[in-house]
Structures are given as structure tokens and as C-alpha cells.
Amino acid sequence: MNTRKLGPFTVSAMGLGCMNLSHAYGQPPSEQQGEKLLLAALDAGVTLFDTAALYGFGANESLVGRVMKPHRREFTLCSKGGMAGVTGDDGVVRRVIDGRPETIRRNCEDSLRRLQTDVIDLYYLHRWDKKVPIEDSVGAMSRLVEQGKVRTIGLSEVSAATLRKAHAVHPLTAVQTEYSLWTRNPEIAVLDACRELGIAFVAFSPLARGFLCDALQDVGTLDAKDIRRSMPRFEPGHYAENLKLLPRYKALAQEAGCSPAQLALAWLLHKRADIIPIPGTTRLEHLTDNLGAAQVQLDSTLVERLEAHINQRTVHGNRYSAQARAEVDTEEFE
């Protein structure tokens, strides 16, 4: 596996997003299946593993902690706080965005316990709590660095302006945001800000939540709890239009001599050396296929045709619902 720089760390050119093993896309796999996939990724040369307190309301961190503890020196561990599950008076666990310093401290302590580690290599603010100045949240994270609980810090789903404010309080190692052929928002300003400030960019959902794998033809088959059901791009009307993009896309993958998933990941790897995709999966064959993208070579002409085919003008529907869009701070295309 080729490597890339993530702040002070040298990591595999692609990491593993661990969310799918516990959260978001319907019924998660068994813990035994999750364990096999984590260890297979490590054996294949993946040295960047990404989780969060939110995923499975702690279950994902517990899984990663249990399975990966014996191998802790072999990889860079990332997690996130500031958005987690909170149990209400009715006993129901709900997602809560809370960037207050005391909450960030508590989230980190809980994550360390679940991950069975003394230190988290890269700790992100999962969402900026807009009720709390970003300087206050990042200040609390900087104290975690001083205390040796985390080595470096980052932000998720923020604008270039917020990024600069945060970086002025404490140097950031990474920004993590959705980025793929069909979600190009980082190209508005954040990618340039990262380059200017020397911050790595970690791309989550690089496979467009399965769309670019050609893995989902009928959105009616999605599990009732699948988060894609709330995303406009996966509403039946929009999705029917988006499916029309796939035949040409698959033809370009065939021309490049790779699978559709590999084409999406290879495109990101070819964009810039400071971009690190973190695709997630629950299946070993998909893991192997994804990692093969590191060997795919794309010529500039094919890249131009690819970008002209799938972009913010040709994709139908927003990436998030109105509520979710209000919770992030990323720039949007008009």
C-alpha cells in the first residue's frame, strides 16, 4: 500500500471508515464479521482506522477497541466527539450535537475507555456546534493534546472560514468532509484552505454512499433505518435520474481497466497527494476491490471526461436533508 502524510503520521493512502460495521446503513454485520473485516484491512496494509462516538452510539468504538487493541502500535487511530448518543428521560438514545468544552472532555474520556487505549492519534470535532464559538471547542481539544489524551486534532464538515478560525487557536492535522465525484463541495474553498495551511483532507463517503459502486438499483429495498432514506439524492424521483449516469460511468471504468468503485477512489487519489479517502464496507470482497484502487492509473483525458459526466450540475438532489444541511458548515454550490 502506498502511503500519505497525515500531519505527523505516515498512513496508508486509503484508510478504513469503520462506521458501516455498526451504524447507518440498516442492520449492521455481526461482531464476528466486523472483527474479520478490521483484521483483514490491517493485514492488507491499511494503517488508518476511523471511528466516532456516534457510530452505533459507542458500539463501533467498542468493536474497534476490542479487536485492534493487540495491534495498537501498527496503525493510526482516529475518532470524533462533539456529536454522540444521549439517553433522554424516556430512555431513548438520540443523536445530540454538543461542542461545549465540558462535553468534549467527557466524550474523549468515554472514547478512550471504549477504544481501550491511552491516546487517540487524531481526534475530530464531529460537527461544529453553532451555539458554541469554534474557538471554545477547539480550545478544549487543544487541552486534550496538552494532557496527552490525543496527539492531534481535526474538524469535520466545516467551511474554509471556520477552518481558519480553528487553526489559529491550535494547529489542525486534518479536515474530514464528504467528497466524491457526486459531492464536490470541498472544491469551492476547503481544499484550497487545506493546502494553504498544510492540513490533510480526509474524504468520507468517497463511493457516494454506494452509488458509485453500482451497488443499489432499487432504493425501495433500503432498510427502514438506512440513513440514505432521508437523503434527497436517494428519493425515488431523484435517484431514477441519477441512475442514468451509471452506464457511461461504468463504461469509463471499463476503459480504465478497473471496477466502478476503484474508479471513484482512483479519481480521489489522483486529485491531490494530501487527500486520503476512507471508504467503508462490511464485505471482505469489497474491501479487496477498494484497496485495488491504489494501483489504478488514470490519464488526464479520462479524468476530464469523468468529471464532466458526474458533478454538481449533473447529479439530482441535495446530499443532505434540510435539517442535516443546517447542522453542517460546509460551503454549497448555488
Amino acid at 80: K
Size of the chain, expressed as the number of residues it contains: 334
Cα separation, 123 vs 81, in Å, equals: 7
Give CA 22 to chain center in angstroms: 14
CA distance 239 to 220: 11
For residues 149 and 183, give the distance between their C-alpha atoms in angstroms, rounded to a whole number.
33
**Whether 76 contacts 6, CB under 8 Å:** yes
Nearest to 81 by CA among 167, 19, 1, 154: 154
Angle at 15 between CA 150 and CA 308, to 5 degrees: 125
Number of Cβ within 10 Å of residue 218's Cβ equals 9
Dist CA 326 CA 329 (whole Å): 8
Active-site residues, by number, are 55
Sign of the dihedral defined by the CA atoms of residues 135, 131, 324, 226, in that order: positive
Name the residue type at position 291: L
